[in-house]
C-alpha cells in the first residue's frame, strides 16, 4: 500500500489497518525505512514502546545517518518521560540536518521537564532564533525559561515578542506581569497584564491569584 493511503488510514483513526499495511510493506520492501519509522510511531502511540524501539533500531541498521529516525525515536522517549534518553537522540538527530529549530526546542523542553533550566536555556534560545515562522509556543517557552532563571529584563523583552504574535496568550500575559514586576519592582507594571489575562480567560487561576495578591500589596502601599 502507498504511504499516502496509509497516512489517510491513520488520519481516519484506522490504526490497526494502517499497521497491518505497514507490516505487509516491510515484507515486500524490507529496505524502505519509512515503513519502519511509521510502524514505530504507531506502536509507540499504542503504548508498545519496546516493540516500537525495535522498528526504529531496524531502520537505523538500514540508514544510520537518517535524522528522522533519531528524531522520531526521541519523541517516543520524550512522550514516555524518558527525557535523558530523548536528549541523546535529539542531539544525534541535530548532527544529521533535521529541522534545527524544532529539535533544539525539543532538547530544551526535555531539560525543562528535568527541571534543568540552565541547560535548557541555550537550546530554547537557539530555537527561538531559528524560528522563522514565529511559533508562539517556541517563543513563549524561551521567555518562560528566562523567568525561571530570574533573567527578568530579558524575559520582559521575550514575552513582549510572544504577545506581539498572540496578544491573547494568557500564560504569556501572566508571566509578563510577574517579570515586569520583578524587573521594575513596580506593582502598576504587573496588574494590567493579570487583568487582561482574566478578561480573556476568567478561569485563569494563576492570574486571579496574582491579581488579588498584587491588589492587596497596592492597597497596603497607599
User: Each residue of 139-194: pLDDT tens digit?
Assistant: 999 999 999 999 999 999 999 999 999 999 999 999 999 999 999 988 888 999 99
- Dihedral of alpha carbons 207, 210, 215, 218, sign: negative
Residue % of the chain over a pLDDT of 90: 74
Instruction: Find the mean pLDDT for residues 12-31.
Output: 88
Examine the pLDDT at 218 and tell me if it is beyond 70. Answer: no
Q: Tell me how far apart the terminal alpha carbons of the chain are, to the nearest angstrom.
A: 73
Examine the pLDDT at 222 and tell me if it is beyond 60. Answer: no
Residues 81 and 103: their CA atoms lie apart, in Å, by 16
Contacts of residue 54, defined as CB under 8 A and 6 or more positions apart, other chains included, come to none
pTM: 0.88
pLDDT of residue 120: 98
pLDDT of residue 217: 75
Q: Which of 46, 113, 51 is nearest to 83 (CA)?
A: 113
Q: Which domains can be identified in the chain, with CATH numbers? A: 1-80 (1.25.40.10)
Residue whose entry in the numeric block shows the C-alpha cell 497607599: 222
Cβ atoms of 174 and 197 within 8 Å: the answer is: yes
**The C-alpha cell that represents 169 in the structure block:** 496568550
Give residue-wise pLDDT tens across range 44-66: 888 888 899 999 999 999 999 99
Residues 46 and 52: their CA atoms lie apart, in Å, by 9
Amino acid at each position: 500500500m502507498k504511504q499516502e493511503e496509509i497516512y489517510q488510514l491513520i488520519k481516519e483513526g484506522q490504526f490497526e489497518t494502517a499497521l497491518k499495511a505497514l507490516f505487509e510493506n516491510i515484507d515486500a520492501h524490507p529496505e524502505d525505512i519509512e515503513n519502519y519509522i511509521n510502524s514505530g510511531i504507531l506502536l509507540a502511540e499504542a503504548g508498545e514502546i519496546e516493540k516500537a524501539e525495535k522498528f526504529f533500531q531496524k531502520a537505523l541498521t538500514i540508514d544510520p545517518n537518517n535524522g528522522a529516525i533519531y528524531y522520531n525515536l526521541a519523541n517516543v522517549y520524550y512522550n514516555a518521560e524518558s527525557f535523558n534518553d530523548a536528549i541523546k537522540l535529539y542531539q544525534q538527530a541535530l548532527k544529521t540536518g533535521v529541522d534545527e529549530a524544532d529539535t533544539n526546542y525539543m532538547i530544551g523542553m526535555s531539560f525543562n521537564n528535568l527541571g534543568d533550566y540552565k541547560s535548557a536555556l541555550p537550546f530554547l534560545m537557539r530555537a527561538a532564533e531559528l524560528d522563522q515562522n514565529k511559533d508562539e509556543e517556541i517563543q513563549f517557552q524561551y521567555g518562560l525559561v528566562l523567568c525561571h532563571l530570574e533573567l527578568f529584563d530579558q524575559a520582559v523583552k521575550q514575552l513582549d515578542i510572544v504577545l506581539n504574535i498572540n496578544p491573547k496568550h494568557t500564560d504569556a500575559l501572566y508571566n509578563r506581569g510577574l517579570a515586569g514586576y520583578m524587573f521594575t519592582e513596580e506593582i502598576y507594571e504587573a496588574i494590567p497584564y493579570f487583568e487582561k489575562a482574566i478578561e480573556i480567560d476568567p478561569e485563569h487561576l494563576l492570574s486571579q491569584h496574582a491579581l488579588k495578591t498584587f491588589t492587596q500589596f497596592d492597597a497596603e502601599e497607599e
